Amino acid sequence: MVPVVMPTYARADLAFERGEGAYLFATDGRRFLDFGSGVAVTSLGHCHPKLVEALRAQAGKLWHCSNLYRVPGQEKVAAKLVANTFADTAFFCNSGAEAMECAIKMARKYHHASGNPQRNRIICAEGAFHGRTLATVAAGGQKKHMEGFDPVMDGFDHVPYGNLNALRDAITPQTAAILVEPVQGEGGIIPGDPDYLRRLRATADEFGLLLIFDEVQTGMGRTGSLFAHQQAGVTPDIMGVAKGLGGGFPVGACLATEAAARGMTAGTHGSTFGGNPLAMAAAEAVLDVMLEPGFMAGVQAKAQQLRTRLDTLCGRFPAVIELVRGQGLMIGLKARVPNTELQARLMANGLLTVGAGDNVVRLLPPLIIGETEMDEAIQILSRTLSEVSP
């Protein structure tokens, strides 16, 4: 008999009842150090006092009113995002896939509004991940996500990630936009070279294309700056944001320049729940914490410290870990043993991680970790690598 919860996930037999900072407490009483953060979502840790207070206060006032009215929380969060990014305007939704759907629709609409409706194809990268809706699985291009869901949505062309020549060769009079993740997440924590990202910008400008960055996973401080592309000195025209934006409350956003959003007029797009007052209270609190002076510098310092320690540790186990890669607190350990096995061992020893493509174990600790959590993580990793070592 089918489980009452549809079995679309291969779940670990583990349930949690409480979270506090970087720790999760299971229903069986065990305590875990959470270096998965619900896949890069709870970036300020569990039950951050400022987030709890913001939600509590909003919960007693207003939960939902619909986008038929002005939502002051959206105006505040959008103003903060606009003030701290390339963007002029933001659309609020509830997830990463929806943020990317909006980005895809906006790119097509932009060319339609500019008198070039034939420009409706988007060049994407192999190994990409943009969500699980029909459009975003087509944009991701992964066979395992599309199998059995034919017909695949048309309008996406794929080239190898990091290869500018292949991308330029794929441009046709029908091309509307280029879409990449600044660091491929699900694909295996593969950082895009800053020079590659800058050349994507130049190429987009040369051919009149829009540049779309999917920062659903890399955004909100994960890589050591509010958004990853800011470190490469390049700006997109459109950007999808979600995961860390609400600190655990489901919320997404699609940011854009005024020019890129020119076609997105009243009636062109919508969402019943998108940007509701509860979501906006959470997002505003997250942004307030992350935009405090010194917060990102602190993340960078911690990331560097953790990375140095991981490089040293993993260097001692070349038979288990092939290499360490990533940016900021978005770190991948490319394993020589099955990543699922390594993850299970880490979990048994009290450390939660997330798998990724290319046999990678992802470390996505909350941005609020301190010396204690880093020490504990290194200790558990050290013990686990010794156990697994042949």
Ligand X SMILES: *Cc1c(COP(=O)(O)O)cnc(C)c1O
Q: Which residue is nearest to ligand X (CB)?
A: 96
Q: How far is the CB of 172 from ligand X (least distance, A)?
A: 25
Among residues 217, 230, 257, 353, the one that binds ligand X under rule CB under 6 A: 217
Interaction of residue 214 with ligand X, rule CB under 6 A:
yes
Interaction of residue 360 with ligand X, rule CB under 6 A:
no
Q: Which is nearer to ligand X, 234 or 385 (CB)?
A: 234
Question: What would the x/- binding string for ligand X be over residues 75 to 104, using CB under 6 A?
Answer: --------------------xxx--x----
Question: What would the x/- binding string for ligand X be over residues 245 to 264, using CB under 6 A?
Answer: --------------------
Interaction of residue 369 with ligand X, rule CB under 6 A:
no
Interaction of residue 43 with ligand X, rule CB under 6 A:
no
96 is in an annotated binding site: yes
244 is in an annotated binding site: no
129 is in an annotated binding site: yes
Q: How far is the CB of 69 from ligand X (least distance, A)?
A: 26
341 is in an annotated binding site: no
Interaction of residue 185 with ligand X, rule CB under 6 A:
yes
Q: Which is nearer to ligand X, 185 or 224 (CB)?
A: 185
Q: Which is nearer to ligand X, 130 or 334 (CB)?
A: 130
**Sole window of 2-10, 114-122, 129-137, 356-364 interacting with ligand X (rule: CB under 6 A):** 129-137
Q: How far is the CB of 41 from ligand X (least distance, A)?
A: 9
Among residues 36, 73, 127, 131, the one that binds ligand X under rule CB under 6 A: 131
What does the H/E/C string look like for the chain?
CCCCCCCCCCCCCCCEEEEEECEEEECCCCEEEECCHHHHCCCCCECCHHHHHHHHHHHCCCCCCCCCCCCHHHHHHHHHHHHCCCCCEEEEECCHHHHHHHHHHHHHHHHHHCCCCCCCEEEEECCCCCCCCHHHHHHHCCHHHHCCCCCCCCCEEEECCCCHHHHHHHCCCCEEEEEECCEECCCCCEECCHHHHHHHHHHHHHHCCEEEEECCCCCCCCCCCCCCHHHHCCCCCEEEECHHHHECECCEEEEECCCCCCCCCCCCCCCCCCCCHHHHHHHHHHHHHHCCCCHHHHHHHHHHHHHHHHHHHHHCCCCCEEEEEEECCEEEEEECCCHHHHHHHHHHCCEECEEECCCEEEECCCCCCCHHHHHHHHHHHHHHHHHHCC
Checking DSSP bridges between strand 31-34 and strand 238-241, what pairing results, if any? unpaired
The set of catalytic residues is 129, 214, 243
217 is in an annotated binding site: yes
Q: How far is the CB of 357 from ligand X (least distance, A)?
A: 12
Q: Which residue has the tokens 């655990």?
A: 248
- Other CB atoms within 10 A of residue 338 CB: 11
97 is in an annotated binding site: yes
Q: Which is nearer to ligand X, 119 or 158 (CB)?
A: 158
Interaction of residue 130 with ligand X, rule CB under 6 A:
yes
Instruction: Return binding residues for N(2)-acetyl-L-ornithine.
Output: 132, 271
Instruction: Catalog residues that contact ligand X under the rule CB under 6 A.
Output: 95-97, 100, 129-131, 181, 185-186, 214, 216-217, 242-243
